[in-house]
Every structure is written in C-alpha cells, then in structure tokens.
C-alpha cells in the first residue's frame, strides 16, 4: 500500500482557552501547561459529513483520482448524528462515489486500524485499487461541557487519505485490551414493552491519569514493535506522528525514545484531540507544507477507548 493523497477540514468556529474561562472553573494556563492545547475548532451549524466530504475531496484531488475511481471507502468515526446508515454511506453519496463502504469504530486508533484493513484489501483483492480512508469525528458532542476534566481536551475535524497498491507500508501492529471502565460513554436505546433492565445514558467518562499511563506504555511498545519489524532503529525514523491527545504524553514518549523534538511534529495547540482524525490531519499539514520527502521513514502511533492501540511504519 502507498498513500496517494491527503486532505483535512475543520469546522469554522475557533474556541480559545480564554473563551472557556467564561463558563468553566479553568484557566488558559492550566490547559496549556497540562495538555499543550491553546484552542480547538468546534462544530456549530456544520454537519460532520460535510466536513468529512471536504477532507475527502481534497485527498482525492491531491491523488488525481475522481470519486468514481474509488473501489472502497472506510470511515473511522465514533459518533455522528446517524446511528444508521453508516457515515461512510452518507459520505459516498455526497462525494458521488459508487463503491462499497464501511464504518469502523476504533476510537482514537481508528486511522491505524483503517490502514490495516486497507492494506489487507489492496493485497488480497485484485479488483481493488483505490481506497478512501476518512476519519471524521465530533468528540465535543460526547463530553459534558460542565466537566472541566474532559471538555477542554477535544476538538472536531476530519482527515482523509487515498491509498493505492504499493510497497510503502512496512509494518502495522494493532492491539486491544478491554478496559471499559477507563474511558467510555453509554447511551440509552429506545424502550420496548419488554425491557426490564436499567440502562445508563451520559457523557464521556475518563480516568485521565490511567489513560495517560496506558497511552505511554502501549505507544512505546507499538512504536518499538513496528521499528523492529522493519529492521530499523529509532534513530532511522524521520518523523513520529503521534495521536494528538496531550503534548505531555507525546513528550514522555519522545524522551523515552531519546529523540529530538523536531521529529515529533504536533498541532494539538490548534485543534485539541480530534480522536481518530488527529493523525491524518497532521499528516496532511506536513504534506501541504512539503515537509515530507520521498523515502522519509514515518511512524504513526495512536491509542484510544477500548483500549485500542496501533502503530504503522511507512516510507513516504
Ligand atoms: N482546569 C483547571 N483544573 C482542572 C481542569 C481544568 N480544565 N481539569 C482538571 N483540573 C483539576 C482537577 O480537578 C484536579 O484538581 P484537585 O487536585 O483539586 O483534585 C487537578 O486539576 C489535577 O487533576 P488531574 O486529573 O490529576 O490532572 P492531570 O495532570 O492528570 O491532567 C489530563 C489531566 C489532562 C486529563 C491528563 O490526565 C491526560 O491528558 N490524560 C490522558 C487523557 C487522554 O489522552 N484522553 C484521550 C485518550 S483517548 C481519546 O483520545 C478519546
């Protein structure tokens, strides 16, 4: 598999840390020093599918491919306004594509899981040549906006890549460790005349410190795994693109790997945590600024609710 094009899109509303101080017992200083976040883009009147289509269209344009040339669409998403149909089906229609589609809920690691599925399809199915992966997320609709421990962390957005047959992806590692209690959100389903159990309904619940520790240990394991699979060392890697959840998590991983700051590009200050969209958004920013050279070795690594984790080593 190789990446043929990248794209990203964001809602238009910018919400700075100062703006949160008006209705939350928080401060710009606390949020910046504990997370690295200065502002985030939030959905107001936009629909997530339109932001997703915008990111996807940019990736298609960059790849020089029309929507009709797509053979498969994978949409990584945790929540959106539709329970059914899948968001990928809505995106397919708005793009004018005609291929089969699936949604995948791998939480914040969804982009790496999507890459793995795309790699399997491209290597095993001769009639599949072009796959769109679009990660579209609105985590700001999951949190309680009176809970300063979670709502300050997230932003909305979409990142997309078009992938095709090639030999640039060298290794992908995935893991899942069931840990519901550390990070979850429950919703109540429609009542029926037969339901007798109690069902919970509420915002995202997170044990921040536990997630922090899990994120660091699992990311280090995954990153070292894909590097050793490729017979390389940490020093051979040109760019580490990590899930943008907290700059302190990124810095802790970087220090453990004993690498320079400039190998760990980040944009968490501008967007906060956009769940599975965070890595493809960052990838698109670097690509748009021509900061990726042909042959550069790139490690992607993410973790999320589940607890799902994954890493990928690819050559640009
Ligand atoms: N503003 C001011 N004070 C706050 C805020 C806030 N926004 N949030 C929490 N505090 C307070 C707490 O109430 C607590 O106060 P207390 O000491 O009086 O009880 C104090 O700050 C310290 O709280 P901690 O939770 O210990 O702060 P910590 O340094 O652990 O930082 C954070 C919290 C930022 C959530 C951190 O634990 C973290 O980033 N964890 C990982 C989270 C993560 O990655 N989530 C996403 C993962 S998966 C996905 O992407 C969906």
- Would you kindly state where each structural domain of the chain is located, as residue ranges? 2-167, 171-315
Q: What are the tokens at 261? A: 């700051």
**Residue 246 annotated among the catalytic residues of the structure:** no
* Centroid of ligand 1 to alpha carbon of 209 (angstroms): 7
User: What is the pLDDT at residue 186?
Assistant: 98
- Residue 22: active-site member: no
Q: Using CA atoms, how far apart are residues 157 and 173, in angstroms rounded to an integer?
A: 25
Residue 306 and residue 184 in contact, taking contact as beta carbons nearer than 8 Å: no
Residue among 63, 138, 136, 50 at smallest CA distance from 95 = 50
d(CA 307, ligand 1 centre) in Å: 18
CA distance 262 to 218: 22
Domain 171-315 has CATH 3.40.47.10: yes
Catalytic member of 77, 80, 266, 273: 273
d(CA 257, CA 213): 16
Q: What is the pTM of this model?
A: 0.97
Is any atom of ligand 1 closer than 6 Å to the C-beta of 148? yes
- Active-site residue among 99, 101, 108, 312? 108
Q: Is 300 in the pocket of ligand 1 (CB under 6 A)?
A: no
Catalytic residue among 243, 266, 287, 312: 243
Q: Do domains 2-167 and 171-315 have the same CATH topology?
A: yes
Fold adopted by 2-167:
Peroxisomal Thiolase; Chain A, domain 1 (3.40.47)
Query: Are 193 and 30 contacting, i.e. CB atoms less than 8 angstroms apart?
Result: no
Q: Is 309 in the pocket of ligand 1 (CB under 6 A)?
A: no
Ligand 1 neighbourhood includes 145 CB (under 6 angstroms): no
239 is catalytic: no
Chunk the chain into consecutive blocks of 10 residues (it has 316) and report each block's average pLDDT, rounded to whole numbers. 98 98 98 98 98 98 98 98 98 98 98 98 97 98 98 98 97 97 97 96 97 98 98 98 98 98 98 98 98 98 98 98
Q: Which atom of ligand 1 is nearest to the CA of 303?
A: 48
Give distance in angstroms: CA of 17 to centre of ligand 1.
15
Cα-to-centroid distance, 311 and ligand 1 (Å): 25
- For residue 208, report the phi and psi dihedrals to the nearest 5 degrees: -55, -45
- Going by alpha carbons, the residue nearest to atom 23 of ligand 1 is 149
Is 32 near ligand 1, meaning CB less than 6 Å away? no
């Amino acid at each position: 598999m190789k990446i043929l094009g990248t794209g990203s899109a964001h809602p238009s509303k910018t919400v700075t840390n100062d703006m949160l101080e008006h209705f939350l017992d928080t401060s710009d200083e606390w949020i910046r020093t504990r997370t690295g976040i200065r502002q985030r883009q939030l959905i107001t009147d936009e629909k997530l599918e339109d932001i997703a289509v915008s990111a996807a269209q940019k990736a298609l344009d960059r790849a020089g491919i029309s929507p009709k040339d797509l053979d498969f669409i994978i949409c990584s998403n945790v929540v959106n306004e539709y329970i059914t149909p899948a968001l990928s089906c809505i995106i397919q229609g708005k793009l004018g594509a005609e291929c089969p589609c699936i949604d995948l809920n791998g939480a914040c690691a969804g982009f790496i899981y999507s890459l793995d599925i795309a790699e399997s399809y491209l290597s095993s199915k001769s009639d599949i040549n072009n796959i769109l992966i679009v990660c579209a997320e609105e985590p700001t609709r999951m949190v309680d906006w009176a809970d300063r421990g979670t709502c300050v962390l997230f932003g909305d957005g979409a990142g997309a890549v078009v992938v095709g047959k090639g030999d640039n992806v060298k290794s992908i590692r995935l893991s899942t460790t069931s840990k519901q209690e550390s990070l979850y959100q429950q919703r109540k389903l429609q009542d029926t005349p037969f339901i007798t159990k109690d069902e919970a309904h509420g915002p995202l619940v997170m044990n921040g410190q536990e997630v922090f520790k899990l994120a660091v240990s699992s990311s280090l394991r995954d990153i070292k795994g894909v590097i050793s699979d490729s017979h390389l060392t940490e020093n051979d890697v040109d760019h580490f693109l990590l899930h943008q959840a907290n700059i302190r998590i990124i810095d802790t991983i970087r220090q453990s790997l004993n690498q320079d700051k400039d190998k760990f590009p980040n944009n968490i200050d501008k967007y906060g945590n956009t769940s599975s969209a965070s890595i493809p958004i960052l990838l698109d920013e670097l690509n748009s600024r021509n900061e990726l050279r042909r042959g550069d070795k790139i490690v992607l690594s993410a973790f999320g609710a589940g607890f799902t984790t994954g890493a990928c080593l690819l050559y640009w």
